[in-house]
């Protein structure tokens, strides 16, 4: 049986863990602090006032901070120290990313990496978004310590979120984030019904595209679902709620490292089996990609973490006979030996 992946060296796993841990620690420290900029003062009627000056979307704006006072100056000095620390962490992250690539980890293509970097900087993932699709599959490989044999290159970026997430660290504005993704100029793709808000964005003249998804629960319905925490609308899809339960933090290998959220590996694999059964005939290529990614993940997980697969199956199986039937049927499309192992895990 040909392997679907090559293990990374132990040193690469250490580098990845260091990159993720430093990003998570930095992220926790940044909550409630302003983005990097500069502090300026204005003299108004003999009184000195402080402002935070920021450059956003190609324009400069100033945020009022208050009148000059020793306590305010001390707070601003602490913020500047934090900015310097953030810059050093970025330099360290860039070194770790370069070392990871040299160790065999697969880097994200530059265009997709740039877009994900901008989304992360605008707190899209902190607001509850989860990276899904083939980009998530690529990231999961590094997370699990392997390099996939197949790259599944794509310029379609899929992110998903449930409506009204209560645990989001903060809200975000996804369209505003895309407006900051220079040199790429994203435009909303109109839907079939012009009355509906767009759920997809693309770059004119390029294949780069971003789709926003959300779970469809209950009866089928027309039109997108609003995601207030991201200031955008999303296309509802059946079974996506299962995929979005229990996401994990992960790093995109690009730039100085981009912290995202991705589905748990076992849920990703079983969800791919699930949706492969829903593909119409004209999506045969996508169905084969679903099955190939599911098989690759299952081979790895059944060898190293079979309990993860069993737990993911328990949750899926509890959702109803239709769910179980679809997954069992899809096993006919993957390697027979892997399918046999999967069935054994389901029966355990």
User: Tens of pLDDT along 324-346?
Assistant: 999 999 999 999 999 999 999 88
- For the beta carbon of residue 95, count every other beta carbon within 10 angstroms: 13
Instruction: Give the mean model confidence (pLDDT) for residues 42-66.
Output: 81
Which pLDDT band holds residue 103 (cuts at 50, 70, 90)? very high
Instruction: Give the mean model confidence (pLDDT) for residues 279-301.
Output: 93
Residue 43 lies in a domain: no
Domain count, the chain: 1
Residue 328 lies in a domain: yes
**pLDDT for residue 78:** 83
**pLDDT for residue 1:** 44
**pLDDT (tens digit per residue) in 119-178:** 998 889 999 999 999 999 999 999 999 999 876 767 799 999 998 765 545 678 999 999
pLDDT at 102 over 90: yes
Angle (CA) 60 66 69, round 5°: 130
| Interacting residues of 216 by C-beta distance below 8 A, sequence separation 6+ | 236, 237, 238, 240
Q: Is 53 helix (H, G, I), strand (E, B) or coil?
A: strand
Which pLDDT band holds residue 31 (cuts at 50, 70, 90)? low
Lowest mean pLDDT: which of 117-121, 193-197, 297-301, 337-341?
193-197
**pLDDT for residue 3:** 65
- For the beta carbon of residue 171, count every other beta carbon within 10 angstroms: 16
Q: Where are the beta strands (DSSP E) in 129-195?
A: 130-132, 146-148, 156-160, 186-188
Residue 111 lies in a domain: no
Question: What is the spatial distance between Cα 281 and Cα 289, in angstroms, rounded to a whole number?
Answer: 14
Instruction: Give the mean model confidence (pLDDT) for residues 219-226.
Output: 87
**pLDDT for residue 65:** 87
Q: Please report the sign of the dihedral spanned by the C-alpha atoms of residue 83, residue 24, residue 127, residue 180.
A: positive
**pLDDT for residue 30:** 59
Q: Where are the beta strands (DSSP E) in the chain?
A: 5-7, 38-44, 47-56, 59-67, 130-132, 146-148, 156-160, 186-188, 200-203, 209-216, 225-227, 232-238, 248-252, 258-262
Integer CA distances (angstroms), 205 to 46, 156, 192, 209, in order: 54, 14, 21, 11
DSSP labels, 287-314: HHHHHHHHHHHHHHHHHH-HHHHHHHHH
Residue 306 lies in a domain: yes
DSSP state of 60: E
**Among 39, 104, 96, which Cα is nearest to 259's?**
96
Q: Is 24 helix (H, G, I), strand (E, B) or coil?
A: helix
Which pLDDT band holds residue 95 (cuts at 50, 70, 90)? very high
pLDDT at 248 over 70: yes
Looking only at the bridges linking them, the beta strands covering 59-67 and 47-56 are antiparallel
**pLDDT for residue 16:** 95
**pLDDT for residue 166:** 56
Rounded to the nearest angstrom, the gap between the alpha carbon of residue 335 and the centroid of all alpha carbons in its chain is 29
Residue 243 lies in a domain: no
pLDDT at 28 over 60: yes
Residue 284 lies in a domain: yes
Decide which of 1 and 330 is more confident. 330
Residue 310 lies in a domain: yes
Mean pLDDT across the chain: 89
Domain that holds residue 305: 264-348
Residue 327 lies in a domain: yes
**pLDDT for residue 193:** 80
Tell me the percentage of the chain whose pLDDT exceeds 70.
93
Task: Please give the model's pTM, rounded to 2 decimal places.
Answer: 0.85
**pLDDT for residue 312:** 96
Instruction: Give the mean model confidence (pLDDT) for residues 94-106.
Output: 94
CB–CB of 231/175 below 8 Å? yes
**pLDDT for residue 315:** 96
């Amino acid at each position: 049986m040909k392997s679907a992946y090559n293990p990374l060296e132990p040193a690469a796993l250490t580098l990845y863990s260091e990159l993720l841990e430093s990003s998570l620690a930095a992220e926790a420290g940044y909550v409630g602090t302003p983005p990097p900029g500069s502090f300026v003062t204005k003299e108004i009627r003999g009184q000195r006032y402080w402002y935070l000056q920021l450059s956003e979307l190609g324009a400069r704006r100033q945020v009022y901070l208050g009148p000059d006072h020793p306590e305010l100056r001390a707070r601003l000095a602490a913020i500047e120290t934090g900015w310097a620390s953030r810059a050093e962490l970025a330099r360290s992250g860039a070194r770790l990313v370069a070392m990871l690539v040299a160790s065999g980890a697969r880097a994200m293509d530059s265009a997709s990496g740039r877009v994900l970097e901008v989304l992360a900087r605008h707190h899209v993932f902190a607001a509850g978004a989860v990276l899904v699709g083939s980009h998530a599959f690529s990231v999961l490989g590094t997370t699990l310590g392997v390099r996939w044999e197949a790259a599944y290159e794509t310029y379609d970026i899929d992110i998903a979120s449930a409506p009204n997430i209560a645990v989001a660290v903060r809200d975000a504005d996804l369209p505003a984030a895309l407006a900051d993704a220079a040199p790429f100029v994203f435009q909303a793709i109109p839907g079939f019904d012009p009355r509906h808000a767009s759920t997809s964005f693309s770059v004119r003249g390029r294949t780069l595209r971003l789709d926003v998804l959300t779970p469809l629960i209950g009866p089928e319905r027309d039109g997108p679902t609003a995601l207030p925490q991201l200031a955008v609308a999303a296309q509802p899809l059946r079974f996506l709620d299962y995929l979005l339960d229990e996401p994990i933090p992960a790093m995109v290998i690009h730039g100085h490292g981009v912290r995202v959220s991705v589905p748990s590996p076992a849920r990703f694999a079983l969800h791919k089996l699930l949706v492969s059964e829903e593909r119409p005939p004209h999506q045969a290529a996508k169905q084969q990609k679903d099955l190939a990614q599911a098989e690759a993940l299952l081979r790895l997980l059944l060898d190293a973490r079979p309990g993860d697969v069993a737990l993911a199956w328990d949750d899926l199986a509890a959702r109803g006979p239709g769910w179980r039937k679809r997954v069992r049927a899809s096993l006919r499309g993957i390697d027979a030996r892997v399918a046999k192992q999967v069935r054994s895990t389901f029966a355990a």
